[in-house]
Amino acid sequence: MGVTVSAKKFSRLFSAGVWVVCLVSVRNSQAAADVEFNEQFLYNTGSPVELSRFARGNPVLPGTYPVTLQLNNVPKMTGDVTFLENGTPVATPCLTLRQLMQLGIQTDDLLPALEAENSAEPLEQRCLDLTRYYSTAQLIYDPSAQVLDVSLPQIYVLQQPAGYIDPALWDYGIPAAMLSYDLNAYQSVNENDRSESAYAGLRFGGNLGAWRFRARGNLDWDSDSGTDYDSHDIYLQRDIPSLKAQFLVGDAYTRGDTFGAVSLRGIRLYNDDRMQPRGLSSFTPVVRGVARTNAKVTVMQDGNKVYETTVPPGAFEITDLSTASYGQDLDVTVEEADGSKNSFSIPCASVTQMLRPGASRWDIGLGQYNGDDLSARPWVMIANGYYGFNNTFTGYAGVEYLDIGYASGLLGVAMNTRFGAIAFDVTHSYLRDPEVADETLQGQSYRLSYNKTLSSTDTSFNFAAYRFSTEHYMTLSDAASLHGDTEVNGDYNQYQRMKNQIQLNISQPVRINDTDYGSLYLTGSWEDYWGVKDEPTSQFSAGYSNSFRWGSYSISVQRTYDELGVKDDSVYLNLTLPLENFSPSGKAPGGFSTLNAGMTLNRDGSSNASLSANGNSEDNRFNYSVSTSYNRTDEQSLADISGYGTYNSAYGPLSASASVSDEADRQYSLSYSGGMVLHGDGLTLAPAGINDNETLALVHASGAEGAGVASMGRINSDGYAVNTGLSAYRENTIALDIGTLTRDVEIKNTSTLAIPAGGAVVKVNFETNDERSVLLALTRTDRGFIPLAADVLLNGRSVGVVGQAGQAFVRGIPDSGVLQVAWGSGADQRCRVNYQLSAATPVVAGSLSLGEQPCVMETKSAREAGHTATAK
């Protein structure tokens, strides 16, 4: 097995400002690849260099080390790898069958050979010699970064969609308990009243294996009514990897894309789109074609290249395409090896119901209906599913049931056409409940959705929808609310129900001769109801926004009609000015970065004008704003000034606000958000609140107090920090910022990969050495040079290495003793240093500095003299 190790270690042996150029030649060998360093290319101020012991890479002792495993230079996973003794300074890394499978290596042809071997060791734990099964395999280990790269031809690599993560790599983390809190205290004082209140939003959680427990509630207090606690959700959940789904017991909400979202207390089983490769959970057409030769396939959208690949002769299929936008067609070009081209277009428009071919989405729930303010809790069953048949059609259906005599069924189809994406569905409801009506109530609801971007004008109909419900149509929530409602008294027509609903969103960029002049938008909604005599309600708004040399501005108008038919018109104006644009130095003056001005004018004559200045510190830990506003109505006018500030600490953001008006009204508030994780080694505070489905990393770097984690986290005195906001079922890079270290510590690697399951608390360990460090300037007593890369040993254990011009950096040595410096096995290739540390030893760049130290050569007479002195 060929093993090559990088020479990064040598770059750390040279002083600042000295550049190293290495000429490396690799000689293929069945046992190991020898590496030769041409010493003439090493500039070292005259010091000789002894690199023969690095001929087979950086020395790696046998043992088990945590490493990041790569496949063809692509990081795949982190884990422990055992290095076996092979008679050379570089131990051989040993990979197991399970690790090969986790890396995505083709092992089908390997299994029969392994099963035929007579070995008592379990198959998945057996150490494999890759060159025996993959003749061109090569392992490249970089001990400085703790990265092991497995190099294999693509024929041995499993072909998976981009972003695919094998479920075997999902890390369910460690047993842990979590508590998250959002705290707020508020006080307002005016001439006639004084009001005080406090709020605590609490979220509790616990993980054990794949199971996750979560609960949520609010604790409220005010000076008038006292304290009240309201419990919201309590549930137990776990992954079902084989179904790419979640199983939940307790309080849950079903999805609202088929029927409206329904709250129930019971069980729920639903697919989890996060478990799919990134991009495959949303609709994108499959690109199919035929190539005559080894052809290049290019996919363009709106003039932008979104995909390119090379395909062999024959039919091809691209299933992992991720588009830049929806509503615009895909332009596909197949360029053959002879230069000929074939082009065609594929419609690409989507509504929320659309799925890519072969994809599915489903949700099943069973339990008690958990709606608010109900006198009865009927049993409910809900099921719905979607399936993408091809690039054009997605079918979907659903059923709902309440044990009070209610049932409904839905059937729909979504289509991707050249005229846009269209979805149409019909829902039929049935209600036989004597408490609601003497007759059986049946009705239908029709829904139409549309989405399209016109390529010629870039006009985007982001969402247009229309729904009509017949008079006797009832939703599940309608039926549950009507059941047992004494105010209805058998006349369900007293109950307000949706009749018509229209929604529209249109956006239009303004572009003339390839010059952008901002964008326009138009939104509107209109609703009317059965069972009420009120007027329809509606809301319409239009706006324009643009930027100019000094900033940006926007203007919008809005008209609304309430249920009484009363019309209200408003005009909004906003101006944003980055203050750095007005500073000759290019820096924001006075600590403020942005100035915002706004004005609102209403039809009734009232108006509001506001001005605010916002800023933040360079490290973004402090954010603050100062604002003033003026409100005028027919009855009064009121001016106020306010301030708001947030400090993003390593243990959560702390915010404070205060305001005062010209009528002496005052307001004060104090807010704090954060969380904590209880684990086997103690309690660690988080730099932000922890959501119900938050995925966390518990970072451990012993002795690395102060090192940064993510944006605001810090390693605490126990060596722990919490990294929030990880992406579940995805590769996450966990990194340490050593620029904020408060202690002298060596961190072996500053980044690693984690692939957590949803809601998991994964433990990420960084190897450190927090023993004190010492700098020595070594000088041989025979006036010779100590070669570069010589080892510094204490009782036979390596504690450091010699760098440029005899400068040695060592760690973990006692206050006094004898160090041995060795650059070979001969007696003339060793010397000894007697050293003594004291309280007066100076500190340079965080390390103790002993200055010049004589290194006595271990000649025969010197060794004999040492033995004699020891005897005396």
pLDDT score at 381: 96
pLDDT score at 860: 60
Per-residue HEC secondary structure of 746-795 comes to: EECCCEEEECECCCCEEEEECCEECCCEEEEEEEECCCCCCCECCEEEEC
Per-residue HEC secondary structure of 662-686 comes to: CCCCEEEEEEEEEEEEEECCEEEEE
DSSP states of 365-415: EEEEE--TT-S---EEEEEEEEEE-SSSEEEEEEEEEETTTEEEEEEEEEE
Tens of pLDDT, residue by residue over 297-308, are 888 876 777 788
Residue 742 within a domain: yes
Examine the fold and report which residue of 769, 789, 805 is the final residue of a domain before the chain moves on: 769
CA distances for 819 relative to 693, 793, 812, angstroms: 54, 6, 12
Regarding whether 739 and 698 lie in a shared domain, the answer is yes
Task: Output the domain CATH number for residue 672.
Answer: 2.60.40.2610
Regarding whether 859 and 795 lie in a shared domain, the answer is yes
Residue 14 within a domain: yes
How far, in Å, CA of 822 to CA of 828, rounded?
Answer: 9
To the nearest 5 percent, what fractions of the chain are helix, strand and coil? 10, 55, 35
Residue 259 within a domain: no
Regarding whether 8 and 155 lie in a shared domain, the answer is yes
Residue 112 within a domain: yes
Helix or strand run (H / E) with residue 743? none
pLDDT score at 399: 97
pLDDT score at 127: 78
Regarding whether 726 and 847 lie in a shared domain, the answer is no
Tokens of 78: 């982190």
Kind of pairing between the strands at 761-765 and 245-253 = unpaired
Determine the distance from the C-alpha atom of residue 58 to the mean position of all C-alpha atoms in its chain, rounded to a whole number.
35
DSSP states of 312-352: -SEEEEE-----S-SSS-EEEEEE-TTS-EEEEEE-----T
* Domain, as residue range, for 856: 773-871
pLDDT score at 36: 55
Residue 800 within a domain: yes
Regarding whether 690 and 743 lie in a shared domain, the answer is yes
pLDDT score at 16: 28
In 3D space, the residue among 303, 301, 332, 338 whose CA is nearest the CA of residue 318 turns out to be 332
Tens of pLDDT, residue by residue over 60-106, are 767 777 788 888 888 777 777 888 877 777 788 888 887 888 788 88
pLDDT score at 431: 93
In 3D space, the residue among 745, 781, 787, 782 whose CA is nearest the CA of residue 766 turns out to be 745
Regarding whether 791 and 720 lie in a shared domain, the answer is no
Report which DSSP code applies to 113. Answer: H
pLDDT score at 31: 40
- Beta carbons of 404 and 378 less than 8 angstroms apart: yes
Residue 801 within a domain: yes
How far, in Å, CA of 180 to CA of 169, rounded?
Answer: 28
Note every long-range contact of 835-844, with CB atoms under 8 Å and residues 24 or more positions apart, other chains counting. Answer: 835/776, 837/774, 844/775
How far, in Å, CA of 86 to CA of 1, rounded?
Answer: 11
Task: Output the domain CATH number for residue 299.
Answer: 2.60.40.3110
Domain tally, the chain:
4
Q: Is residue 341 classed exposed, middle or buried when 0-12, 13-18 and 19+ CB atoms within 10 A define those classes?
A: exposed
Examine the fold and report which residue of 727, 753, 769 is the final residue of a domain before the chain moves on: 769
Regarding whether 205 and 56 lie in a shared domain, the answer is no
The contacts of residue 321 (CB under 8 Å, 6+ apart) are: 279, 284, 285, 286, 287, 299, 306, 307, 330
pLDDT score at 191: 78
The contacts of residue 633 (CB under 8 Å, 6+ apart) are: 604, 605, 606
Residue 50 within a domain: yes
Regarding whether 848 and 780 lie in a shared domain, the answer is yes
- Which residues does the chain have with pLDDT short of 50? 1-33, 41, 43-47, 865-872
Examine the fold and report which residue of 721, 749, 769 is the final residue of a domain before the chain moves on: 769
How far, in Å, CA of 610 to CA of 576, rounded?
Answer: 12
Regarding whether 152 and 8 lie in a shared domain, the answer is yes
Regarding whether 801 and 711 lie in a shared domain, the answer is no
pLDDT score at 586: 65
pLDDT score at 326: 60
